[in-house]
Structure 1
Amino acid sequence: MSEPQHPATDATSVAPGVVAPDAGGDDAGPPAVARDTRWNDAIARVVSGGWAVSLGAVVLAVLAGSVMIAFTDEGVQEASSYFFARPGDTLAAIGQAVGGAYSALFRGAVYNYTADSFVQGIRPLTQSLTYATPLIVAGLGLAIAFRSGLFNIGGQGQMLISAAAAGWVGFAFDLPVGLHVVVALVAGVAAGALWGALAGLLKATTGAHEVIVTIMLNYVAFYLLSYLLATPGLLQAPGSANPKTPPMAETALLPRLLGPSFRLHLGFLLALAAVFLAWWLLERSSLGFSLRAVGENPHAARVAGIDVSRSTVLAMLVSGALVGLAGSTQVLGLITTGFSYDIDAGIGFDAITVALLGSSNPVGVLFAGLLFGGFKAGGSVMQASEGIPIEIVLVVQSLIVLFIAAPPLVRAVFRLPQPGRRTPAKGRRLGAARRQEVQR
Structure 2
Amino acid sequence: MTVEPGHATAQPGSGHHPDHHHGVDADDFKRELGTDGTLTEEPYHPNPSTPTADRLQAIGEVVFLYTVCIAAALGLSALLVEATGGSSAEVFNALLDGSIRGPGRIGATIGVAVPLLLVAIGTIVSNRAGLVNIGQEGQLYIGAAFGAYFGTKLGWSGPWVILLLLVASVVGGALWAGIAGALRYTRNVPEVLTTLLLVTVAAQLVGYGLKNQWLLLAPAEGRANRQQISQQLPENTRIPRIEMFGNEFPISAFIAIALAFLIAAAMARTVWGLRLRMLGHNPRTAQRAGVAASRYGGGALLVSGAFAGLAGGMMLAGGDFGNYTLVPGFPAEIGWTGLLVALVSRQRASVAIVIAFVFAALRTGSGFLAATGVERRITDVVQGLLVLALLIPPALLYLRQRRRQMNSGGDRT
- Aligning the two structures, in what range does the TM-score lie when normalised by the shorter sequence? 0.7 to 0.9
**1:149-160 equivalence runs, <5 A:** 149-160=130-141
Which of 257, 262, 279 is residue 294 of structure 1 equivalent to?
279
Q: Provide the residue aligned with 2:58 in structure 1.
A: 45
Q: Deviations over 1:322-375 (max 9, x none)?
A: 111110011111234422121100011111110011111011111110001111
Cα distance, 1:107 vs. partner? 1.9
Residues 38-68 of structure 1: CA deviation (Å, up to 9, x unaligned): 886454333456x765565544433433332
Q: Which residue of 1 aligns with 2:235?
A: 250
CA distance in structure 2 between the partners assigned to 1:275 and 1:44 by the alignment: 25
Deviation string 1:70-112 (CA, Å, 9 cap, x unpaired) is 32234xxxxxxxxxxxxxxxxxxxxxx3333222212221223
Aligned to 1:349: 336
Q: Deviations over 1:279-306 (max 9, x none)?
A: 1221122212111111111111111111
* Displacement after TM superposition at 1:149 (Å): 0.8
Distance 1:56 1:270, change over 3 A: farther
Which residue of the partner structure matches residue 24 of structure 2? none
**Match in the other structure for 2:151:** 170
Change (3 A) 1:394 1:132: same
Tell me the residue number matched to 1:104: 94
Report whether the alignment pairs 1:15 with 2:45.
Answer: yes
| Shift in CA distance, 375/39, structure 1 to aligned 2, threshold 3 Å | same
Deviations 1:356-404 (A, max 9, x none): 1111101111111000111111111233246363313431255246525
Distance in 1 (alpha carbons) for counterparts of 2:158 and 2:375: 44
Q: Does 1:321 align with 2:311?
A: no
Give the match for residue 36 of structure 2.
Answer: none
Q: How large is the RMSD of aligned CA atoms in angstroms?
A: 3.3
Q: Residue 367 of structure 1: which of 334, 350, 354 is its match?
A: 354
| Alignment-mate amino acid for residue 219 of structure 1 | T
Amino acid at match of 2:334: I
Change (3 A) 1:218 1:246: same
Residues 179-198 of structure 1 aligned to structure 2 (within 5 Å): 179-198=160-179
Q: Any stretches of 5+ residues in structure 2 without a counterpart?
A: 5-29, 33-39, 408-413
Contact 2:343 2:391 (8 Å CA) reproduced: no
Q: How does 1:228-239 map to 2 (within 5 A)?
A: 228-239=209-220
Other-structure match for 2:14 = none
Task: State the alpha-carbon separation in 2 of the partners of residues 134 and 277 from structure 1.
Answer: 16
* Unmatched 5+ stretches in structure 1: 19-35, 75-96, 113-119, 423-440
Partner Cα distance (1:380, 1:219) in 2: 27
SS in 2 for 1:264: strand
- Tell me how many residue pairs correspond in the alignment: 366
Letter aligned with residue 250 of structure 1: E
Task: Quote the Cα distance in structure 1 between the aligned partners of 2:398 and 2:107.
Answer: 35
What is the rounded CA distance, in whole Å, between the counterparts of 2:339 and 2:386 in structure 1?
A: 11
Partner AA of 1:286 in structure 2: V
Alpha-carbon distance in 2 for matches of 1:64, 1:205:
49
Q: 2:77 — aligned with what? A: 65
CA contact (8 A) 2:124 2:342 kept: yes
Out of 316, 322, 327, the position equivalent to 1:340 is 327
Q: Tell me which residue corresponds to 1:219.
A: 200
Name the amino acid aligned to 1:209.
Answer: P
Q: 2:252 aligns with which of 264, 267, 275?
A: 267
Percent of aligned pairs sharing the same letter: 26
AA matched with 2:74: V
Please say if residues 159 and 326 of structure 1, whose CA atoms lie closer than 8 Å, have aligned partners that are also in contact.
yes
CA shift digits 1:123-163 (9 cap, x unpaired): 11111111111111111111111111111100111011000
Contact kept in structure 2, 1:104 and 1:386, CA below 8 Å: no
